[in-house]
Structure 1
Amino acid sequence: MQLEREGIFLEDTACFYLAEISMALGHLHQKGIIYRDLKPENIMLRNNGHVKLTDFGLCKESIHDGTVTHTFCGTIEYMAPEILMRSGHNRAVDWWSLGALMYDMLTGAAPFTAENRKKTIDKILKGKLNLPPYLTQEARDLLKKLLRRNASTRMGAGPRDALDVQGHSFFRHMNWDDLLAFKVEPPFKPFLQSADDVSQFDSKFTSQTPVDSPDDSTLSESANQVFLFLSLKHLQH
């Protein structure tokens, strides 16, 4: 919503958000988790303006060096070519998505889009990366390195993971220790009336009728018996 409101972000603003997201991705990767669903809708801003990644429904756990997974998932505009090709993928997919997100922040649109799903996929797999002339040299260089179709040569794909991305000159002014300690001032703080103020959310979400998620797990007979036993004991007391 903030990106929509602004149209595009200045590079300093994008740098702050991308830096915080890179730290979150690096942390997940250290835990053997690929995030796989990096897109604007899944990046929340806390009341203090710092980033919070949400929606871990597409995460893949236990992916350490040398392991690949083949699930087709995510929003295609931000999806790495190797997911679309179903050729097996690892944590490098998150760095492609960071590149796609960076492009969106700085230009107002994802790097490869078309009028339908099939044409969008074709563009992601084969289209030319067009970089607007107003981008700085550092931004252009990082985008090219994150949006490499060959996952093994993509920035962040090596054993140093997030450290390689964070070492790029685009982040040359970032103090990473201060960032981790929340000492870097966010570029924007949501204006909230109270802790449960939802005015910053799009009304298409807040106007929906809340519905409980269906519980598809059925209790086993033995669990049912235990539950009945405990209920009876509770009644007796």
Structure 2
Amino acid sequence: MGGKGSKGKKAEGKKDKKKNKGKETADDGSVKASREDTAAESNNGKESGEGPSRKLSDDELDPSWNDTVLFSTDKGKVTKDDFELLTVIGKGSFGKVMQVKKKDTGEIFAMKVLRKEAIRARKQVAHTKAEKSILQKIQHPFIVTLHYAFQTDDKLYMILDYINGGELFFHLKKEGRFPEHRVVLYAAEIVLALSHLHSLDIVYRDLKPENILIDSEGHIVITDFGLSKEINPTEGTQTFCGTPEYLAPEVLKGQGHGCAVDWWSLGTLMYEMLTGLPPFYSQNINIMYQKILNSELRFPSYVSSEAQSLLDGLLTRDPTKRLGTSDAAEIKKHPFFRSIDWDKLFKKEVEPTFKPKVKSEADISQIDPVFTSEKAVDSVVETSELAKTAEGDNDDFNGFTYVAPTVMGAD
């Protein structure tokens, strides 16, 4: 994970109006902690905030949760002692994210540390396991890579890429809005990432500026899969979750949803990148929900006709008629993306016009100082009465250990 540090800081200027921006919604419809409260995962290791509508059974999770599936030998297996803690780059309700260095190789990673007690208290065991299960399946140029996962009696650890260019939110906050050619590139890379997830029957469900990182070359990296879910494409899912500004109408209506919700969120994100605010934003969440359901989509005069046409398609309220629902190819063919060579883009042969000013792989200049000023310590968890009752439940996380195949195969 790389520059996800801005999440704990209020936006300035226009963004100061976004009082509730970044709050995540639980299944009961309540708004969860604010950006400041949930700013956990700077970089690739954001934390989940979803409240599950029901607890998933073990057989609904990926079978690779079995340790014997993941390990034939101990080759490549690591513990927290294999990493030097460098800098805090994010914090959240379940724990923190730290920049770390692997002692034997010198490689820089992001270490996401989650407290089991907090996960159990918020009934997030299944979703945390699902996040790891999904991440270990994915290899894509625009999606963060999970390299290792391991655990202690008290905590879970995920070792992910460290992306040093900062959150999209960090840069959007500084610049107000982006020029359209920059939005074209970011949106195109997101389309490729979402299309890949959908091909695996994974719905992402939390696309927003805080969950998108910029690498040192200026390409995007999607992170934080805490709200993602593997679904049956013919059935969808009923869970009411996400971040208010980016929720699709079908989620608000409780009608059940599928991968089309991600295309709605892409439209909302693109509108925000182009104008500085989401299309239906209000400080009052109930008013914002009504606007998402009913208000006319309006554009500033400087938004091109091609962008307006694409956003009209992505922000179609009927998910069966929304652009992308049939196939991502219809989005890729839109005139807004006429300058994109999709094969070259996938290979990262398209050079971004904006590159973050970073000096090294370990650069933290794009991370919010509210995090980096804190000492990097893997603190001891004090066992509460709640935790004591769960001491026999460590099998909740059986199979959490993981080493990426490329690591296991290394000499």
TM bracket, shorter-chain basis: 0.7 to 0.9
Residues 104/213 of structure 1: CA separation in 2 closer, same or farther (3 Å cut): farther
Mapped partners of 2:350, 2:297: distance in 1: 32
Q: Work out whether 1:31 is the aligned partner of 2:200.
A: yes
TM-score normalised to structure 2 length: 0.51
What are the equivalent positions in structure 2 for 1:191-202 lying under 5 Å apart? 191-202=357-368
Task: Name the structure where helix makes up a greater proportion of residues.
Answer: 1
Mapped partners of 2:300, 2:357: distance in 1: 32
Alignment partner for residue 184 of structure 2, among 15, 38, 50? 15
Mapped partners of 1:212, 1:86: distance in 2: 40
Mapped partners of 2:311, 2:380: distance in 1: 39
Q: Which sits farther off after the overlay, 120-129 or 26-35? A: 120-129
Q: Which sits farther off after the overlay, 126-135 or 144-153? A: 126-135
Unaligned 5+ segments in structure 2 are: 1-169, 382-386, 399-411
Unaligned 5+ segments in structure 1 are: 224-237
Cα deviation 1:180-237 (Å, max 9, x = unaligned) = 11010012111222221111012233345656697977335xx9xxxxxxxxxxxxxx
Task: Name the structure where strand makes up a greater proportion of residues.
Answer: 2
Mapped partners of 1:204, 1:164: distance in 2: 42
Matched letter for residue 300 of structure 2: P
> Comparing both chains, which one has the higher relative contact order based on Cα–Cα distances under 8 Å and sequence gaps of 6 or more?
2
Please state how far the C-alpha of 1:92 moved relative to its aligned partner. 0.4
Q: Work out whether 1:219 is the aligned partner of 2:387.
A: no
Mapped partners of 1:196, 1:202: distance in 2: 14
Matched letter for residue 164 of structure 1: E
Q: Work out whether 1:178 is the aligned partner of 2:353.
A: no
Alignment partner for residue 154 of structure 1, among 322, 335, 351? 322
Contact 1:34–1:63 under 8 Å retained in 2: no
Contact 2:231–2:237 under 8 Å retained in 1: no
Residues 209/81 of structure 1: CA separation in 2 closer, same or farther (3 Å cut): farther
What are the equivalent positions in structure 2 for 1:60-71 lying under 5 Å apart? 60-64=229-233, 66-71=234-239
Residues 133/69 of structure 1: CA separation in 2 closer, same or farther (3 Å cut): same
Q: Work out whether 1:50 is the aligned partner of 2:219.
A: yes
Q: Which has the larger radius of gyration?
A: 1
Residues 212/84 of structure 1: CA separation in 2 closer, same or farther (3 Å cut): farther
CA RMSD of superposed structures (Å): 2.0
Identical residues among aligned pairs (%): 47
